[in-house]
Amino acid sequence: MKTTQPRDKPNVIPETFPPPQISIWRHQHILDLDSFTKEEIDLVFEITDAMMEVLGREIKKVPTLRGTTVATVFYEPSTRTRASFELAAKNLSTDVVNLDIPKSSVTKGESFLDTLRTLQALGVDVIVLRHSQSGAPYLAAQHLDISIINGGDGWHAHPTQALLDLYTLRRHFGDLTGLKVVIIGDILHSRVARSNIWGMSIMGCKVVLCAPPTLLPRELDNFIIRCHLSGISKEYKLEAALQEADVIMPLRLQFERQQSRLLPSLREYIQLYQLNSKRLSLAKPNALVLHPGPINEDVEISPEVAHSAQSVIEEQVTNGVAVRMALLYLITRGKR
């Protein structure tokens, strides 16, 4: 049986020697975790450990990627992903261009690909892309020579968020094999859930998806079978799902993507699916609470749970910078 670490003890990172081989890394782009192996995710974690050390310094900057340029191109609003990528890039001494879409030539009708091609021609090495259309980063990766990092595409994928979630779990549990993770709520619209399903399945977690039937995509069963994903199950009743849980991740109810009639009423959703202290007590005593943010306080999570000792929501944000530093380090290639 797996036990969580007592919360007052410092995080223990398992020391691996010899370190994993970098030669297993095959990615030019970070599009989704479906193309990752467990060894590659372990490699990202290993590099992330080193980046965490940089973040712990008084001067959080290393000269590693001097001379490379990263552009953030966000067609959808974002606070943490964009700021996190910008800080990650700057910590590694890259130059950063933030394309402000509403003030860019996109408003004059410049196409998606032309916008990205312009950035490529300007000498950008990596584009971090967020787009409301699922698959947009794949299109970009097909047509450009430079690296694309998916910063969230539609309902489809948010691989860097999933990696930082997995890394946060690793800091607390060490080994992720057999951890019971309960993902609650708006799974239908959640790219975070989709990437986490891949990542957690690869790392050997048991994932329980818990939501009202209207928010659990019907094609999920086929998807799980077709992709040979193991350890994924569905549960409509939250109280049942939370039994023996090591990790609980309520998702933001995405009002901006809600079509009508998916929920009878918000109040009913809160009554049945909000993670509150009483429900949290059904999980293992040291279960961790994660949330990809931003939070609708008092909707999917109660304020006392969001700010409780079991919540690692702020830690996720810090870890996110280190994970993104590791990914930037791994995908930038030689120029000379």
Residues making contact with another protein (CB under 8 A): 15, 17, 19-23, 25, 43, 46-47, 49-51, 53-54, 57, 59, 61-68, 92, 329-330, 332-336
Nearest residue to 278 via CA among 255, 252, 308, 315? 308
Cβ nearer to another protein, comparing 13 with 282: 13
The 3-state DSSP class for residue 177 equals coil
Going edge to edge, which strands form the sheet with 69-74? 95-99, 69-74, 126-131, 147-153
Cβ nearer to another protein, comparing 50 with 282: 50
Nearest residue to 123 via CA among 94, 87, 81, 92? 94
Cβ nearer to another protein, comparing 169 with 326: 326
The 3-state DSSP class for residue 253 equals coil
Cβ nearer to another protein, comparing 270 with 330: 330
The packing angle between helices 38-55 and 313-331, to 10°, is 110
Closest contact distance (angstroms) between CB of 148 and another protein is 18
Closest contact distance (angstroms) between CB of 331 and another protein is 9
Backbone angles phi, psi at 21, to 5 degrees: -80, 135
Please tell me the distance from the alpha carbon of residue 313 to that of residue 309, in angstroms, as a whole number.
10
Residue 70 pairs in a beta bridge with 96, 126
Closest contact distance (angstroms) between CB of 321 and another protein is 15
Tokens encoding 156: 């489809």
Nearest 10 degrees: Cα torsion 18, 22, 25, 27? 140
Cβ nearer to another protein, comparing 52 with 119: 52
Please tell me the distance from the alpha carbon of residue 279 to that of residue 273, in angstroms, as a whole number.
9
Nearest 10 degrees: Cα torsion 329, 193, 151, 108? 170
Closest contact distance (angstroms) between CB of 67 and another protein is 6
Closest contact distance (angstroms) between CB of 190 and another protein is 32
Cβ nearer to another protein, comparing 54 with 282: 54
Contact between residue 94 and residue 70 where contact means Cβ atoms under 8 Å apart: yes
The 3-state DSSP class for residue 153 equals strand
Cβ nearer to another protein, comparing 15 with 256: 15
Contact between residue 305 and residue 274 where contact means Cβ atoms under 8 Å apart: no
Closest contact distance (angstroms) between CB of 53 and another protein is 5
Closest contact distance (angstroms) between CB of 33 and another protein is 20
Residue type (1 letter), 245: A
Give the distance from CA 139 to its chain's centroid: 21
Cβ nearer to another protein, comparing 19 with 294: 19
Cβ nearer to another protein, comparing 9 with 226: 9
Closest contact distance (angstroms) between CB of 19 and another protein is 5
Closest contact distance (angstroms) between CB of 85 and another protein is 18
